[in-house]
Structure formats: C-alpha cells, structure tokens
Amino acid sequence: MGGTIFHRKTKEEKYGPGIQGAAGDEYDEQECQQQQEQQQQQDEVDASEFEDDDILPPVVRNRRPKENKFTQQRLAAIDPVFTPSIVVPLYLLIAVVFVIVGGCLLSVSSRVNEIKLYYEECSTQAPTNDWGDMPKHAYDFYYHQYQQFNVSPQWKFVDDPNDDFHEKGTCQIRFTVPIKFKNTVFVNYLLEKFYANHRRYVLSYNEDQIRGKPASYHDVHGHTGINCKPLSRNNENGKVYYPCGLIANSMFNDTYPMELVNVQDPTNNYQLTNKGINYHSDRERFRKTRYNHTEISPPPNWVRQFPNGYNETNIPDIQDWEEFQNWMRPAAFDKFAKLIRRNHTEDLLPGVYQIDIGLHWPVTEFHGRKAVYITHSSQLGGKNPFLGIVYLIGGCLCCAMAVTIVGFYMISSRRIADPSQLSWNRPKLN
C-alpha cells in the first residue's frame, strides 16, 4: 500500500505523438541518441574556445628598433681637424687645377678667328660710285697667327630708287681673309644698344600662335600674363596680327646672301645655308599655323615684305623659318649676336670675299649699331675668354689663400690640440 509505483513512459509520451517505433515509420531511437551526443560534443568545443579567449593574454607588438649600429645611432662619426698642413696643400692643388684649366680655355679661345664689320653708316658714309676703305671704328678682326694684319675692308653703297623707306639700298663689303677658317663657319648679325630684355617686350607674344593654334583676339589680347596687348589687332581691318606682339614686329630683317663671293675667283664662291642655325628642339614648339589667311594680318613692320597682306600661299611657316625662331629668343644683354648663315662642310680658304647686305632694319633711331660677324667653331665653342679668365682668377685666389694661411701660421702659430688654449684652462682676467 505504501510502496512507490513506477510508470514506464511510452515512445509517444517521450518523443511526442505521431512517432512510431516500428520498422519503416518507427522512430530510430539510436539515431536520435547519436545526434544528441554530437550536439553535446559541439557545445563542449564552443565552450572551450570561450575559455581560451578569456585565459590567453593579448599579443603586444614590439616597436623597438633592431639592435644594430645604424638603428641605434652608434655609427662612427668623421670629425676631421683641418690643420694648416692639410689646408695649404689642398688650396695649392685647387689653384694648380684651376690655372691649368683656365690656361687651356684661354688658349683654345685665342685660336678662334673672327671678323666684325659694322655697316650702320653705309648709306651715309660709303661711296656710291667706287670702293672706299671703311673707317677704323667700323671694323674689328682677330687672326691668331696674323695679329698684326691691318688691311682695311672696303665698302660701297648701292641705292634703290624704287624704295621710299629711309633704310634702303644694299651695302657691299669686301674683306680679306688671310688665314683658313676651319668649319663650321658661322655668319651672324651683331646688334648693339638694342635692349631686348625689357619686361614688357619679353612678354609680348602669344604661345598659342607659336604652337600653330588659331587664337582669337580675346586669347592674344586679354590672356593673363603673357599676351600681345600692345600689338594684337589691326585697327583698320579688325584682323588679328600673326605673329602678334612686340618681339615678332621688331624682327631683324636685313637680307643676307646665301654665299660669300670670291672676288679673285668668282667660280669658287663660299656657299652658305640658313638650315641648322637653330636648336632642333624648337621645331616641336614652332608649328605651322591653322589660321585662314582671311583672319590674320601681318605686323606693322612686316608690311614691306607683305605689301598686300596674306594670301593662301604667302603665310610664313614658322616651323621651318629658323631665322624667326632665333629672333623669338630675346637676348639678355644689349649687345648680342644671332646666327643667320653657316657652312659646316667646307673651310673658308684665304682670299678676298664680298658680302652684299640689303638694308631694311634701322638702328640710328636708338643710336644703335649693327654688324656682320663671321667666325668659326672650336672644340669648346666660339671665341669667349670669359670662362678661362674666371678659372684663372679662382686659381689665383686659392693660391693667395694658401700663402695667407702660411703667413699667419709662421707669425702666430700654436701647438695643435694644446689643452692650455681651452677657455676653461686659460687664466681669468681681473
């Protein structure tokens, strides 16, 4: 009566209704038990992961530099003590090198021959019927093997009655070459007292026109900084100047021949060319324009060359016009020479030569001078003693410094690394 009665649950009570244990539809108790064991093992693994995260300490990255002389800044330092025994030989060595280099530069420069023939007074001072000697101030030449050579050049002026401009005609000049000019021979025009370095002048051009773009009036006139504001448009017809600006308008336009006439043997004239007188890289900057000839007008000073304006055939191609490219690079000083002709294949042999120059570019208005300048190249370029003189001066200064140091050392020298000369070892003055 008082005992406990145990009731055994059926499968329906244990797993819910609809579960049968028979084969086929009966629930597989063994499979269920295996699933429960797998779930229990997974729960234990997950719990172990949380336990490890709580137990392991966080990883701390060590930022300390490596233990070597470079990272710990323990490299050996060089602290030389420049004593007179070191400084004096160093100065003397530099002086010897500078003097040798300067002497070589002066020697090479002194071997370059040159001829300068000033012809700005040709229309007023030269005879018109016969040849006459040029005045002393109108020529200057240097021949390194004939420094006493003193044969005056001759000139003659040939007027042009069809030209009503105040600078007109042709100046014919004959000069003697007593020594061979080795190629390459350069024919330049030389200008004096022409100040092309004025800020407003230097900035007076349009880069778009230079590069061949058909720039509008607003582009050439109102562009900030570099523009053609003084000479940008023809007020009579409203067309844009091409090329615009002060530099292009003032281009040197005296005409030079393509040969030097050999007076003694006219069949053996010295040929010249206007190709290769400028940097080849400028062909990438100066491009043929895409303007239509009805949109542009030549600058005021180009009217003599283009009296009827531009047409379909006469617009200048500045990509191949090397004289124009040379002129568009303004000089830094008021005296400068620009290459206009050259010969890089033949030597200029001794003889008497004649050059005919067409006069179109006036210089008397600003009291300037113009000349034809003929020279040749050397291993180091043209005739210019400036660099050699600078090296010689530098060598002399180094030699003077060495002598000065020796003098001070002999007069008031002291023992090197003498500790008694330290400030804390010197006796204090009362």
Domain shared by 98 and 161, yes or no = no
Q: Residue 287 domain-assigned?
A: yes
The predicted pLDDT at position 1 comes to 44
Q: Is 80 helix (H, G, I), strand (E, B) or coil?
A: coil
Tell me: pLDDT of 419 over 60: yes
Average pLDDT value over all residues in the chain? 86
Tell me: pLDDT of 18 over 50: no
Residues 6+ apart with CB under 8 A from 171: 119, 122, 123, 126, 155, 156, 157, 158, 356, 357, 359
Residue 102 or residue 72, greater confidence: 102
The predicted pLDDT at position 21 comes to 44
CA 205, 209, 213 angle in degrees (round to 5)? 155
Q: Is 369 helix (H, G, I), strand (E, B) or coil?
A: strand
Tell me: pLDDT of 8 over 90: no
Identify the H or E element spanning 351.
strand 351-358
The label of the residue with tokens 């002194």 reads 110
Q: Is the peptide bond before 128 cis (omega within 30 degrees of 0)?
A: no
User: Phi/psi at 281 (nearest 5 deg)?
Assistant: -65, -20
Q: Residue 26 domain-assigned?
A: no
Domain shared by 281 and 299, yes or no = yes
297: amino acid identity, one letter: S
The label of the residue with tokens 């012809």 reads 119
The predicted pLDDT at position 272 comes to 97
Tell me: pLDDT of 24 over 50: no
At 31-55, the pLDDT tens digits run 667 777 776 666 555 545 544 445 5
At 347-389, the pLDDT tens digits run 999 999 999 999 999 999 899 999 999 999 888 888 889 999 9
Domain shared by 332 and 241, yes or no = yes
Domain shared by 281 and 401, yes or no = no
The label of the residue with tokens 């240097």 reads 142
State how far the Cα of 250 lies from the Cα of 261, in Å rounded to an integer: 29
The fraction of the chain above a pLDDT of 70, given in percent, is 87
Tell me: pLDDT of 27 over 50: no
Q: Residue 216 domain-assigned?
A: yes
At 253-287, the pLDDT tens digits run 999 999 999 999 998 999 999 999 999 889 899 99
Q: Please give, one letter per residue, the 3-state secondary structure of 186-226.
A: EEEEEEECCCCCCHHHHCCCCHHHHCCCCCCHHHHHHCCCC
Domain shared by 90 and 145, yes or no = no
324-341 mean pLDDT:
95
Tell me: pLDDT of 10 over 60: no
Domain shared by 95 and 201, yes or no = no
State how far the Cα of 251 lies from the Cα of 267, in Å rounded to an integer: 34
Q: Residue 138 domain-assigned?
A: yes
Q: Residue 46 domain-assigned?
A: no
63-73 mean pLDDT:
84
393-398 mean pLDDT:
97
The predicted pLDDT at position 29 comes to 63
Range of the domain at 287: 117-377
Residues 6+ apart with CB under 8 A from 110: 144, 385
Q: Where are the beta strands (DSSP E) in 215-312?
A: 240-241, 259-262, 270-271, 296-297
Q: Residue 275 domain-assigned?
A: yes
The predicted pLDDT at position 30 comes to 67
Q: Over the range 139-151, which residues count as b (16 or more CB within 10 Å of their CB) and which as e? A: bebeeeeeeeeee
State how far the Cα of 247 lies from the Cα of 297, in Å rounded to an integer: 16
Domain shared by 373 and 385, yes or no = no
Identify the H or E element spanning 173.
strand 170-177
Identify the H or E element spanning 29.
helix 29-55
Q: How many domains does the chain have?
A: 2
Residue 310 or residue 57, greater confidence: 310
Tell me: pLDDT of 96 over 60: yes
Residues 6+ apart with CB under 8 A from 247: 196, 201, 202, 204, 205, 327, 328, 330
Q: Residue 213 domain-assigned?
A: yes
What Å distances lie between residue 81 and 78, 93, 273, 379, 412, CA to CA? 10, 19, 61, 42, 19
Q: Which of 341, 403, 334, 404 is nearest to 367 (CA)?
A: 334
State how far the Cα of 87 lies from the Cα of 389, in Å rounded to an integer: 24
The predicted pLDDT at position 169 comes to 94
51-63 mean pLDDT:
64
The predicted pLDDT at position 61 comes to 76
Domain shared by 182 and 100, yes or no = no
CA 283, 288, 289 angle in degrees (round to 5)? 140
Domain shared by 121 and 136, yes or no = yes
Domain shared by 328 and 400, yes or no = no
Assign 338 a pLDDT band (cuts: 50, 70, 90).
Answer: very high
The predicted pLDDT at position 395 comes to 97
Domain shared by 372 and 403, yes or no = no
Q: Is 79 helix (H, G, I), strand (E, B) or coil?
A: coil
**With contact defined as beta carbons under 8 Å apart, do 154 and 134 qualify?**
yes
At 133-174, the pLDDT tens digits run 999 999 999 998 888 888 999 999 999 988 888 889 999 999
Q: Residue 200 domain-assigned?
A: yes
Domain shared by 107 and 123, yes or no = no
